[in-house]
Every structure is written in C-alpha cells, then in structure tokens.
Amino acid sequence: MVQKIFADQRQTGRLDLEAIETFVRESMHRAGAGALSHLLQVDPPAQASLVCRCGHSARYKEQRRKPMLTVVGRVEYERPYYVCSHCHHAPNPADAALGVAGEEFSPGVRRMMAVVGSEAAFDVGREQLELLAGLHVSTKSVERQAQRIGAEIRELEQLEIQRSVQLELPIPIGPPIPVLYVEIDGTGVPVVRKETAGRTGKVEGQPSHTREVKLGCVFTSVGVDAQNHPIRDEGSTTYTGAIETAEEFGRRIYREAFQRGWSRARLKVILGDGAIWIWHLAAQQFPGAILIVDFYHASEHIHELSRLLLPADAEARRHWVGVAMYLLNNGEIESLVTILRHLLAQHPALAEKLENEVQYFERNAEKMRYPEFRARGLFVGSGVIEAGCKTVIGSRLKQSGMFWTVKGANQIIALRCCRLSGRFEDFWEARAA
Ligand SMILES: [Zn+2]
C-alpha cells in the first residue's frame, strides 16, 4: 500500500495525503484491535463450575472465541465457556463484566450507531460510520441498535412516569424559577399501513396515512427586555413526546415539567394551539397554571374566516380583519364573538363554520387575554414547540419515502428527545454503571 502511494508520487510528483492518512488510520486500528484482543483474553478458570441463574451449577466446557466490532475494528478474544446441564443456560461472567453479553458490537460502537441513527436515515448513518470512524456495519445493524437504545430510554421513562404517578419521585430542589413554560403540540408522522387500520383519516371515508406524535417542551425565561418582551433561556429547553393517547401523554408531560422544577416555579404557563385535548390535559395535570392559546393560531382563525366571508372584496376583507384583529389583540373576545354571531344570520351557507368559530373563541376566551399576558411579560406564541415539531420530529421522521411502525417511531423519538434535551451522555453513563 505505502509502496504504491510512493510509486504514484514518483510518477505524478504529487503525494496523495488522503490515501496515506486513511492507510495510517487503518493500520493503527489494526494494531489497536490486536492489542485489545489480547487485553480482553480471559484464561481458563481455576474452578470447573459456577452457579447458574437457575441455582444449579454450570460446568466449564472449554475456551470459546468471541468476535466483536469495537471502535478500533474487529477484535476476537477467548474466554471460558460454561453450560448448565439443568437449564442449558450458558452463563458468561467475562462478557457480562464487559457489558457485551450477547452483543456483536462494543459499547463505543453502539453509542456511535445510536447517534448516527438518531440524526439521519439509517443508511446515511451507515455511510457516516464508514467515512468518519472507518467502521463497516450494515444499515440494519444501525437501525436495530438505535431502536434498541431508544427502547431502553423509553423503559426508563415509563418507570419514572410510573413513579411520578405514585408520587414517589423526589421533589427536585433548586432556586425558585421565575417563569416555567410548557408548550404542547401535535404533528403527523407517516406510518405503515397496518398502523392506521380501522382509523379514520382527515379526509372522510379515506384511511389516514399518518399517526399523531404528541410533543411537549419545557423551558424557562430569564426575565424581560427593555420593552417588557420575555427572553427565553436558550439552553433550558427539554423535549418529550410519543405516538400515544392524550391521557398517556398527560402523564409524560407532567413528569417532564415536574423534573424541571414545576413546583418551584413562581409563574407556570401552558401554551398550545386550539386542540381540545391539550386544554383538557392542562386542566387535569396542571391545575392553577396560566393557560394561553398561541396568538398566531388564533389570528389564523380570523384570516381564514375572512377569506370565506369576503372572498372577492380585498378591501372589505382588510377592513374586517383589522377590526377582528384589534379585538383579539386587546383580548376582547366577547365582542369578537358578538360579531361572529351577527354574521351567522347573514351567511347561512357558512353557518356551521361560523358556529365552530364562535365555540372556539368562547371556549378559549380566558386563554386569549393577550394584553394581560403581555403586561406580565409572558410569551403568547408557541413558536418553541412549533420549531420543535420540525427539528425533533419532522427533520428525522418525515423524510420522503419513510414509513414507520408506531413502536419504531416511538423508539427514535425517545432517542432524539433524550439527545436534544442534552441528556444522552447522562443516560449512557448511568447505563454503563
Ligand atoms: Zn441453569
């Protein structure tokens, strides 16, 4: 290899540095793998048996080789092999001590697979491992490892959710938090056909091809600026989400808020769009919180309605929107509802739509007192969770040609939320311990 590189240099006058560095890396990996194989070697045992998990004794049979892919490439080492004659289990203390019982990949490689698999499509992850780490693995292995680690994160989450339901979690201590926000939203993820069987889609009579991920984020603000606009504490945002029922998600987001210091917050704010499940959940899990409907979502209702009411007259439409937005901006929702009720008589064709809008504004009136919220220096838009739906979910799970199982999607969502919340390193260390 080296001779060829230098022969090429003599011919062309140019030294191919990339070929050399790649060659050197491979050589160092090979040397490292040799050393590691030697280090991991376990000699035949002094005693001929050990206690099996069934309580009987497992007898030493022979030395067996274990191949494994590590961050320096493929290693192979020998360690004692025992078999229990009672239950046929083969306990392997040497592998167990390394945390690789039944594994074909070392912890370092598994972490890499989880990281690339959470960031991009699994085949892209495979390419990245080859280019960046010089490791050759299959696309399927990247998928399997990323999903297994996502599944482990989910199991831990479920344990903590269970403990928080039973009020067993210790109250996290720390200084008081001026304002703690919880924002909630839903976003569709394309799924394989079997996951939507029997469910009605958005278009009547047609099955849906997506399932809704419920996503929540929690963040704090660090006061207000000179104009009394709130300032978000950038690094404070954590995420949690899954394809699950509103009830299950309620427990999930409660645990997240609790862990983030809900009980120490002076002001507690829930922000969301108009979705009924969000406010039902907020009433159940977060009694006493300040509830705010995203201002831009409410504005969109006004703009959409204006297009239906005055489709042809742009000038009249602008005027109408001006009046309605003035009322919304000032939190005068009752006046807005009065206007909508008057329109009901004039537009019989739009009766159903108008009735829905009346209900939407009536139902959410207390969550639309925007002047009051602004005066307290609070956010009135749920931009953080909308961005979260794109960065946490959309960019990874909604690429063209992707169709997920609910289980697979939830595992990758758990992994992404963990990483984007800055918790992956802690999770991995705790897991190794
Ligand atoms: Zn046994």
Name residues with Cβ closer than 5 Å to ligand 1, which is an ion.
52, 54, 56, 84, 86-87, 89
Tokens of 272: 């969301």
pLDDT at 223: 85
pLDDT at 66: 96
Residue 374 lies in a domain: no
Residue 257 lies in a domain: yes
pTM of the model: 0.91
- Distance (angstroms) between ligand 1 centre and the Cα of 39 equals 29
Residue 79, phi then psi, degrees to nearest 5: -150, 160
- Distance (angstroms) between ligand 1 centre and the Cα of 44 equals 20
Residue 242 lies in a domain: yes
Residue 412, phi then psi, degrees to nearest 5: -70, -35
- Distance (angstroms) between ligand 1 centre and the Cα of 68 equals 26
- Distance (angstroms) between ligand 1 centre and the Cα of 59 equals 10
pLDDT at 159: 93
- From residue 367, alpha-carbon distances to 113, 278, 286, 358 in Å are 44, 12, 14, 15
- Distance (angstroms) between ligand 1 centre and the Cα of 105 equals 26
- Distance (angstroms) between ligand 1 centre and the Cα of 66 equals 21
The per-residue pLDDT for range 194-222, each reduced to its tens digit, is: 998 877 766 566 667 999 999 999 999 98
Half-sphere exposure of 370 (CA within 13 A, CB side): 19
Q: Which domain holds residue 336?
A: 297-368
- Distance (angstroms) between ligand 1 centre and the Cα of 157 equals 32
- From residue 292, alpha-carbon distances to 13, 274, 380 in Å are 69, 10, 7
All residue ranges of the chain with pLDDT < 70 are 201-207
- Distance (angstroms) between ligand 1 centre and the Cα of 49 equals 12
One-letter identity of residue 147: Q
One-letter identity of residue 319: H
Clarify whether residues 229 and 313 are in a common domain.
no
- Distance (angstroms) between ligand 1 centre and the Cα of 91 equals 8
Count CB-CB contacts under 10 A for residue 239: 26
Clarify whether residues 304 and 287 are in a common domain.
no
Clarify whether residues 210 and 345 are in a common domain.
no
The per-residue pLDDT for range 84-123, each reduced to its tens digit, is: 999 999 999 999 999 999 999 999 999 999 999 999 999 9
- Distance (angstroms) between ligand 1 centre and the Cα of 85 equals 7
Clarify whether residues 249 and 345 are in a common domain.
no
- Distance (angstroms) between ligand 1 centre and the Cα of 57 equals 7
Residue 422 lies in a domain: yes
Q: How many whole angstroms separate alpha carbon 348 and alpha carbon 307?
A: 16
Q: Are 168 and 257 in contact (CB under 8 A)?
A: no
Q: Count of domains in the chain?
A: 3
Clarify whether residues 279 and 322 are in a common domain.
no
Q: How many whole angstroms separate alpha carbon 187 and alpha carbon 185?
A: 7
pLDDT at 171: 79
